[in-house]
């Protein structure tokens, strides 16, 4: 064994011992016999397992939707919170396709949905309300049919902030709104039951804090573990069969599917 290779091996062993109980990981690169090293935050690393299930939920835009029963973890009062989802919209739909909504009809709600002003393109909408008249923020004509998008709505103090694919799209200052209710979470439908979502949903997340611009940018395009601080709902939709979908967050509040739906490959 050459002196250079021996020294390299000793360096790797030494650094591995130092980092054994740390929060960083040593990444070793080799190119044409040369070695280089990088230290990265362990939490920033994701691992893909060959053959790992990676599904999404496809809803028919008519009567297909998912429901998660009320839990007090989803009542944020007048405080901060964040909701996220991956979406693929197949067509306009009959009304305003809802992505995720929590609340009661004609009462307190918070929601993410798609809509289209007359003569305009498809927009994303994040809103909160205590009754008639929503406080909201909306995107430009951003959404194209049959493409995947990650959307996120953040309430931070009295500001609503909308992100698409990890980038801030819009923000609005709003009045103080109490969003508490005993209503369930609906995926792909509204409480009027005429706003069905014609497309695919995946990786729905709910947080009890206002995710920062940096946190959104660093995590929008990867699956989470489920133990991240502040996470109160995480539905991967990786079951691939049946009529239920699991919550991977500490809240452990699984959901049920109804009507026209199908399990499909998640290829975002």
Residues 258 and 153 in one domain: yes
- Round to whole Å and give the CA distance between 203 and 223: 7
Residues 17 and 90 in one domain: no
Residue 50 lies inside a defined structural domain of this protein: no
- Per the structure, the complete domain to which residue 7 belongs is given by 3-44
CATH of the domain at 125: 2.60.120.200
Tally the domains of the chain: 2
- Round to whole Å and give the CA distance between 188 and 159: 25
Q: Model confidence at 247, in pLDDT bands (50, 70, 90)?
A: very high
Contact at 8 Å (CB) between 81 and 209?
yes
Q: What's the pLDDT score for residue 3?
A: 41
Q: Residue 1 above 70 pLDDT?
A: no
Residues 74 and 37 in one domain: no
Q: Dihedral sign, CA of 225, 86, 189, 258? A: negative
Q: What's the pLDDT score for residue 8?
A: 40
Q: Model confidence at 219, in pLDDT bands (50, 70, 90)?
A: very high
Residues 36 and 145 in one domain: no
Q: What is the per-residue pLDDT across 111-135, written as a single tens digit (0 to 9) for each?
A: 999 998 877 789 999 999 998 778 9
Residues 23 and 90 in one domain: no
- Round to whole Å and give the CA distance between 150 and 220: 7
Residues 147 and 235 in one domain: yes
Q: Model-level pTM?
A: 0.81
Residue matched to tokens 């109980």:
21
Q: What is the per-residue pLDDT across 7-56, written as a single tens digit (0 to 9) for each?
A: 343 343 333 433 444 455 554 444 455 545 555 454 544 444 334 589 99
Residue 26 lies inside a defined structural domain of this protein: yes
Q: What's the pLDDT score for residue 12?
A: 39
Residues 17 and 69 in one domain: no
């Amino acid at each position: 064994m050459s002196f250079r290779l021996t020294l390299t091996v000793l360096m790797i062993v030494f650094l591995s011992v130092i980092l054994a109980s740390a929060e960083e990981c040593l990444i070793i690169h080799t190119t044409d016999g040369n070695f280089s090293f990088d230290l990265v935050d362990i939490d920033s690393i994701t691992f893909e397992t060959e053959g790992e299930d990676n599904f999404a939920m496809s809803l028919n835009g008519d009567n297909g939707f998912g429901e998660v029963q009320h839990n007090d973890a989803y009542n944020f009062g007048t405080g901060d919170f964040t909701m996220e989802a991956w979406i693929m919209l197949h067509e306009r739909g009959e009304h305003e396709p809802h992505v995720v909504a929590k609340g009661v009809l004609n009462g307190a709600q918070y929601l993410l949905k798609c809509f289209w002003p007359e003569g305009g393109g498809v927009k994303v909408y994040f809103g909160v309300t205590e009754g008639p008249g929503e406080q909201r923020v909306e995107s430009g004509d951003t959404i194209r049919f049959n493409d995947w998008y990650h959307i996120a709505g953040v309430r931070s103090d009295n500001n609503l902030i909308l992100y698409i694919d990890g980038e801030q799209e819009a923000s609005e200052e709003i009045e103080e709104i109490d969003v508490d209710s005993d209503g369930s979470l609906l995926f792909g439908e509204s409480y009027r039951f005429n706003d069905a979502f014609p497309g695919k949903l995946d990786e729905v997340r709910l947080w009890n804090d206002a995710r920062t611009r940096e946190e959104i940018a660093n995590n929008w395009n990867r699956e989470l573990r489920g133990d991240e601080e502040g996470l109160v709902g995480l539905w991967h939709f990786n079951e691939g069969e049946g009529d239920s979908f699991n919550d991977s967050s500490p809240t452990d509040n699984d959901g049920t599917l109804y009507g026209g739906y199908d399990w499909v490959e998640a290829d975002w």
